[in-house]
């Protein structure tokens, strides 16, 4: 414990010593533990991908999947990405972890194409953090994976958040345009929760907006939250973008979104993120269920 106390003192400067309470000590301890475990997680093969289907509710079709990272720390124990991704970003580890995610999801999509489980009209979406976008290796990593796994144009999608517009906007715009030219689709994730100006939105080379689930969850509260969702759907239409709602859990939410002609739906209503085997089974069942 002495080591940990020293660490904290060094980090915050001597003056903060008296604020170093037991709770904080526990937090530092947890944080250090997390760091150490995260550092070796890749070598220990502790990461895996889950896949959540995206649905066209009009054609009743699975249009693709979003790959969601899972960190398995025990036989049935997982640490949530919201808990370890910020830490991985801070440590710079997100680059190697992110590279693994890109490689693994491309490999999976190729395997599913070969097995006839998915077709070329479908896509695999990967979450990319701002740290990855700012790293010079991203484009070549994606390019190599597309070549290695011979992914057809349009099959790979990246999801980025509005936070990418915080600084170096010109560089980000250029990079996204280059990725788009390579045939990669670009979505803005959690749309509406950031503070991007509509002017940037017009200039950004993007294909889709994902309505953040907080708005979907608030739909039942009344006209105001409904108006926000309506506005995002109209905005997408005006800008010529695809719009997808995330976090759809209920029939009411689904019907409301269909009433607005929201293009695609993602959420527990259709399916939670699934492991490889369950995702395959989901596709087969889904086709059976809606084939007649």
Among 113, 158, 160, 190, binds ligand C2E (CB under 6 A): 190
- Asked whether position 68 contacts ligand C2E by CB under 6 A, the answer is yes
- Asked whether position 57 contacts ligand C2E by CB under 6 A, the answer is no
DSSP of 219-268: GGG-HHHHHHHHHHHHHHHHHT-EEEE----SHHHHHHHHHTT-SEE-ST
- Asked whether position 127 contacts ligand C2E by CB under 6 A, the answer is yes
CA distances to 1, 237, 285 from 233, rounded to whole Å, are 53, 6, 30
- Asked whether position 159 contacts ligand C2E by CB under 6 A, the answer is yes
Among 80, 137, 197, 234, binds ligand C2E (CB under 6 A): 80
- Asked whether position 279 contacts ligand C2E by CB under 6 A, the answer is no
Picking from 153, 140, 154, the residue whose alpha carbon sits closest to that of residue 102 is: 140
Helix 94-114 with 138-148: angle, nearest 10 deg: 20
CA distances to 14, 110, 216, 244 from 230, rounded to whole Å, are 53, 36, 11, 12
- Asked whether position 162 contacts Mg ion by CB under 5 A, the answer is no
Whether residue 145 contacts residue 175, with contact meaning beta carbons closer than 8 Å, is answered with: no
Query: Measured over all CA atoms, what is the biggest interatomic distance in the chain, rounded to whole angstroms?
Result: 71
Residue 68 interacts with which of ligand C2E, Mg ion, none, CB < 5 to 8 Å by class = ligand C2E
Bridge partners for 187 per DSSP: 159, 208
Q: Select from 28-36, 81-89, 225-233, 282-290 the region that touches ligand C2E (CB under 6 A).
A: 81-89
Among 67, 102, 184, 189, binds Mg ion (CB under 5 A): 189
- Asked whether position 82 contacts ligand C2E by CB under 6 A, the answer is yes
- Asked whether position 267 contacts ligand C2E by CB under 6 A, the answer is yes
Pairing of strands 185-191, 156-161: parallel
Q: Which is nearer to Mg ion, 162 or 190 (CB)?
A: 190
**Residues at the interface with ligand C2E (CB under 6 A):** 52, 68-69, 80-82, 85, 98, 101, 127-129, 159, 189-190, 246-249, 267-268, 273
**Residues at the interface with Mg ion (CB under 5 A):** 127, 159, 189-190, 246
């Amino acid at each position: 414990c002495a080591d940990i106390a020293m660490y904290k003192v060094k980090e915050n400067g001597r003056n903060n010593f008296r604020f170093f309470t037991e709770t904080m000590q526990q937090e530092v301890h947890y944080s250090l533990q997390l760091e150490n475990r995260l550092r070796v997680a890749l070598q220990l093969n502790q990461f895996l991908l889950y896949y959540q289907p995206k649905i066209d509710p009009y054609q009743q079709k699975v249009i693709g999947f979003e790959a969601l990272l899972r960190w398995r720390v025990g036989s049935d124990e997982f640490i949530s990405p919201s808990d370890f991704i910020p830490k991985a970003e801070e440590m710079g580890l997100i680059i190697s972890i992110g590279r693994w995610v890109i490689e693994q999801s491309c490999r999976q999509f190729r395997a599913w194409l070969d097995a006839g489980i998915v077709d070329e009209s479908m896509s695999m979406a990967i979450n990319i953090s701002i740290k990855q976008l700012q790293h010079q290796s991203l484009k070549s990593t994606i390019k190599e994976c597309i070549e290695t796994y011979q992914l057809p144009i349009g099959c790979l999608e990246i999801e980025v958040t509005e936070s990418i517009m915080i600084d170096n906007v010109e560089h980000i715009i250029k990079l996204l345009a280059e990725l788009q030219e390579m045939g990669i689709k670009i979505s803005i994730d959690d749309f509406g929760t950031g503070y991007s100006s509509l002017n940037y939105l017009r200039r950004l080379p993007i294909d889709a907006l994902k309505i953040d689930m907080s708005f979907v969850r608030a739909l039942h509260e009344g006209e105001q939250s409904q108006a926000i969702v309506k506005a995002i759907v109209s905005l997408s239409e005006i800008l010529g973008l695809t719009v997808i709602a995330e976090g759809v859990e209920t029939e009411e939410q689904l019907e409301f979104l269909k009433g607005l002609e929201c293009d695609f739906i993602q959420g527990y209503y259709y399916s939670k993120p699934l492991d490889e085997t369950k995702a395959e089974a989901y596709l087969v069942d889904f086709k059976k269920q809606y084939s007649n």
